[in-house]
C-alpha cells in the first residue's frame, strides 16, 4: 500500500504539475494570441501613419517637399492612407495639389489656323482635354484654361494661372508654314527666366511627344516675348504639336488615335518633369589639372552635386582641386592611390595597402573620412579575377561601400571619342532606367567639354551625389 500510495501521490503530484504547466502554457498562448492580434490590428490600421511618424522624425522638410515625395504624399493623402501630422506634410499636400493648367490655344472667334474645315482651336481643345484626363488618372490636379469653344484673351489665361498659383502652364497649339513640306513638333519656352526651369519642362514635353508619335522633333525655341511663357509665374511652355499646312500632319491630327498619342506624350513629359528619375553622376581618376575645375564650374553653374572617386597620387598633386570638390558639396570617394592594376590586384594586402594610402591622403588634405570607393576597372575585371572576392569581403568588413556603374560615357575605353559620341553613349547606356550610376572621367577633355550638353540631353534625370542611403550598384 505504502508503495502504491507513494506512487499514487507521485502520480497525483505529476498530474498537478502537468496541470500547473498546462495553466502556464495556456497563459503564454493567450498572451501571445492577444499580442499577435494587437500587432496585426496596429499594423493594418496605422501602416500609413507609422510611415509618416517615422518620416516626421527622420526626414527634414526639404526632402518632403521634393517633387517625388510631394506626389507620393499627395497620392497617399487622396487615397485616404495618410492623415496630416505636421506642417511639412500639410505643405507637401498643398504643393502636390497645386493645379496644372493645360491651355487649348485660341477659341471662339479666334480659330487659329484653318485649313478647309479643320480648325486649330478644335484640335487644340481635343488634345488638351485628353491631356487633362491622363494627368488626372496619374493623380495630378489638372484643369483646362478654357472648357468649351470660348474666346479668352491669352493674357487673361495667364493671369488666371498666376492668380491660382498654378504649378505648371502648358499651352497647346498647331503650326502653319507657307512651305507645305515643313513638318514636326516644336516647343517654345522663355530662357530668360532661369529659375523657372521652363526649359526642362519644354525639353521633356518635346522629347516625350516625339517618342509617342514618331513625328519629327524640331528645335526647341526660346522666345522671351511670347505671352504664355514669359508672363506666367510658374514653369511654362507652348507646344506646336504639328503643321496643319502639311498634308500628312493635317491628316494625322484629324485622327483621334494620333491626338491621343500627342496627349500621352505631353502628359508623360509633365509627369517626368514633376517626378524625375535619378542619376548619380560619378567621375573617376581625378583630380586633374585642367579638367576637374571645368567639370566643377559646370556643376556649380547648374547647381548639381556629383561624386568624385579620386586617385591619392593626384590629390597630393592638386590638393586645392580636391578641397574644392569637398567645399562645393560633392561626395568624395576613393579610387586608388596609384592607378596600376597589376600592382593593386597582386594580392588582398597590396590592394588594402594602396587603398589606405589614398584614404589617408584624402583625409589629411580634405578632412573627409571617405565611406565609398570604386575599384579601378570595376569590381570584377581582367586583373582581379582571383582576388576580387577576398578584397570585397575585406573591404566590406571594414565598413566601406563600393559602387560599380550601370551607364557610362565610354570615355575611358576610347580617349579620342568626340563629345557627341560620349553623350550618345551616356543616353544609350542609361536606357531610361529610374536609377542610373553614370561613369565619367574628369581627366578626359571631351568629357569636360560635353558635360553641359550631357546634362541637357538627360532632362528626365535629377542628378544627385552618392550618399549612404543610395543602394549600391554592383556588376
Residues forming contacts to Zn ion in the complex (CB under 5 A) are 284-285, 376
DSSP string covering 271-322, please?
HHHHS-EEEEEEEEEE--TTHHHHHHHHHHHTT---EEEEEHHHHHH-HHHH
Residues 6+ apart with CB under 8 A from 112: 105, 106, 119, 120, 121, 124, 173, 174
In terms of CB distance, is 275 or 292 closer to Zn ion? 292
Where do we find the cell 509665374?
Answer: 233
H/E element holding 11? helix 2-45
CA 26 to chain centre: 54
H/E element holding 221? strand 221-222
In the complex, minimum distance from the CB of residue 100 to Zn ion, in angstroms, rounded to a whole number: 44
In terms of CB distance, is 269 or 376 closer to Zn ion? 376
In terms of CB distance, is 378 or 459 closer to Zn ion? 378
Helix, strand, coil abundance in the chain, percent, nearest 5: 50, 15, 30
In the complex, minimum distance from the CB of residue 407 to Zn ion, in angstroms, rounded to a whole number: 16
In the complex, minimum distance from the CB of residue 377 to Zn ion, in angstroms, rounded to a whole number: 7
In the complex, minimum distance from the CB of residue 311 to Zn ion, in angstroms, rounded to a whole number: 8
Where do we find the cell 471662339?
Answer: 108
Q: How many Å apart are CA 48 and CA 84, to the nearest integer?
A: 11
In terms of CB distance, is 167 or 441 closer to Zn ion? 441
Q: How many Å apart are CA 309 and CA 434, to the nearest integer?
A: 23
In the complex, minimum distance from the CB of residue 73 to Zn ion, in angstroms, rounded to a whole number: 41
In terms of CB distance, is 264 or 284 closer to Zn ion? 284
- Where are the extended beta strands (E) located within 120-193? 142-144, 168-175, 186-189
H/E element holding 407? strand 407-408
Residues 6+ apart with CB under 8 A from 234: 161, 162, 165, 166, 167, 168, 169, 196
> What is the per-residue burial (b if ≥16 Cβ within 10 Å, else e) of 106-144?
bbeeeebbebeebbbbbbbbbbbbbbbebbeebbbbbbe
In terms of CB distance, is 285 or 354 closer to Zn ion? 285
In the complex, minimum distance from the CB of residue 40 to Zn ion, in angstroms, rounded to a whole number: 52
In terms of CB distance, is 376 or 465 closer to Zn ion? 376
In terms of CB distance, is 357 or 462 closer to Zn ion? 357
Where do we find the cell 548639381?
Answer: 304
In terms of CB distance, is 258 or 309 closer to Zn ion? 309
In terms of CB distance, is 222 or 381 closer to Zn ion? 381
Q: How many Å apart are CA 113 and CA 454, to the nearest integer?
A: 37
Are 465 and 331 contacting, i.e. CB atoms less than 8 angstroms apart? yes
Q: How many Å apart are CA 310 and CA 383, to the nearest integer?
A: 20
Q: Which residues pair with 170 in a beta bridge?
A: 102, 237
Q: How many Å apart are CA 456 and CA 453, to the nearest integer?
A: 5
In terms of CB distance, is 127 or 325 closer to Zn ion? 325
Are 448 and 289 contacting, i.e. CB atoms less than 8 angstroms apart? no
- Alpha carbon separation from 387 to 295, 348, 350, 383 (Å, rounded): 34, 7, 11, 9
User: β-pairing, 461-464 with 331-336?
Assistant: unpaired
In terms of CB distance, is 312 or 376 closer to Zn ion? 376
In the complex, minimum distance from the CB of residue 255 to Zn ion, in angstroms, rounded to a whole number: 53
In the complex, minimum distance from the CB of residue 303 to Zn ion, in angstroms, rounded to a whole number: 27
In the complex, minimum distance from the CB of residue 365 to Zn ion, in angstroms, rounded to a whole number: 19
In the complex, minimum distance from the CB of residue 312 to Zn ion, in angstroms, rounded to a whole number: 13
In the complex, minimum distance from the CB of residue 337 to Zn ion, in angstroms, rounded to a whole number: 12
In the complex, minimum distance from the CB of residue 254 to Zn ion, in angstroms, rounded to a whole number: 56
Amino acid at each position: 500500500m505504502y508503495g502504491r500510495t507513494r506512487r499514487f501521490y507521485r502520480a497525483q503530484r505529476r498530474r498537478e504539475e502537468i496541470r500547473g504547466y498546462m495553466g502556464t502554457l495556456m497563459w503564454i498562448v493567450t498572451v501571445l494570441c492577444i499580442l499577435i492580434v494587437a500587432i496585426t490590428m496596429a499594423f493594418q490600421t496605422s501602416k500609413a501613419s507609422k510611415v509618416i511618424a517615422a518620416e516626421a522624425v527622420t526626414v527634414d522638410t526639404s526632402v518632403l517637399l521634393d517633387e517625388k515625395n510631394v506626389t507620393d504624399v499627395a497620392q497617399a493623402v487622396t487615397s485616404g492612407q495618410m492623415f496630416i501630422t505636421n506642417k511639412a506634410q500639410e505643405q507637401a499636400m498643398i504643393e502636390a495639389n497645386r493645379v496644372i493648367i493645360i491651355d487649348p490655344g485660341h477659341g471662339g472667334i479666334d480659330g487659329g489656323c484653318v485649313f478647309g474645315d479643320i480648325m486649330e482651336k478644335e484640335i487644340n481643345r481635343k488634345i488638351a482635354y485628353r491631356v487633362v484626363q491622363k494627368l488626372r488618372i496619374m493623380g495630378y490636379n489638372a484643369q483646362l484654361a478654357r472648357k468649351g469653344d470660348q474666346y479668352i484673351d491669352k493674357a487673361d489665361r495667364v493671369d488666371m494661372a498666376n492668380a491660382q498659383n498654378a504649378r505648371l502652364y502648358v499651352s497647346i497649339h498647331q503650326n502653319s508654314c507657307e512651305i507645305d513640306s515643313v513638318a514636326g513638333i516644336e516647343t517654345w519656352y522663355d530662357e530668360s527666366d532661369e529659375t523657372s526651369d521652363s526649359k526642362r519642362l519644354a525639353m521633356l514635353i518635346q522629347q516625350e511627344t516625339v517618342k509617342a508619335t514618331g513625328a519629327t522633333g524640331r528645335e526647341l525655341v526660346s522666345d522671351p516675348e511670347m505671352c504664355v511663357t514669359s508672363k506666367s509665374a510658374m514653369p511654362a511652355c507652348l507646344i506646336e504639336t504639328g503643321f496643319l499646312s502639311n498634308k500628312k500632319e493635317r491628316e494625322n491630327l484629324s485622327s483621334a488615335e494620333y491626338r491621343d498619342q500627342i496627349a500621352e506624350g505631353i502628359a508623360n513629359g509633365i509627369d517626368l518633369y514633376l517626378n524625375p528619375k535619378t542619376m548619380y553622376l560619378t567621375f573617376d581618376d581625378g583630380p586633374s589639372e585642367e579638367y576637374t575645375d571645368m567639370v566643377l564650374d559646370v556643376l556649380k553653374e547648374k547647381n548639381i552635386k556629383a561624386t568624385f572617386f579620386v586617385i591619392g597620387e593626384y590629390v597630393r598633386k592638386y590638393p586645392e582641386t580636391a578641397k574644392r570638390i569637398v567645399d562645393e558639396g560633392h561626395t568624395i570617394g576613393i579610387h586608388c592611390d596609384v592607378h596600376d592594376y597589376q600592382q593593386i590586384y597582386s594580392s588582398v594586402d597590396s590592394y588594402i595597402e594602396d587603398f589606405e594610402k589614398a584614404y589617408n591622403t584624402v583625409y589629411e588634405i580634405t578632412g573627409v573620412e571617405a565611406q565609398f570607393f570604386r575599384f579601378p576597372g570595376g569590381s570584377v575585371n581582367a586583373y582581379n579575377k582571383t582576388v576580387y572576392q577576398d578584397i570585397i569581403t575585406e573591404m566590406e568588413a571594414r565598413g566601406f561601400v563600393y559602387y560599380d556603374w550601370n551607364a557610362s560615357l565610354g570615355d575611358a575605353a576610347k580617349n579620342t571619342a568626340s563629345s557627341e559620341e560620349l553623350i550618345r553613349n551616356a543616353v544609350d547606356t542609361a536606357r531610361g532606367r529610374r536609377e542610373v550610376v553614370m561613369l565619367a572621367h574628369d581627366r578626359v577633355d571631351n568629357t569636360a567639354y560635353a558635360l553641359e550638353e550631357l546634362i541637357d540631353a538627360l532632362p528626365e534625370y535629377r542628378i544627385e551625389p552618392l550618399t549612404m542611403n543610395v543602394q549600391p550598384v554592383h556588376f
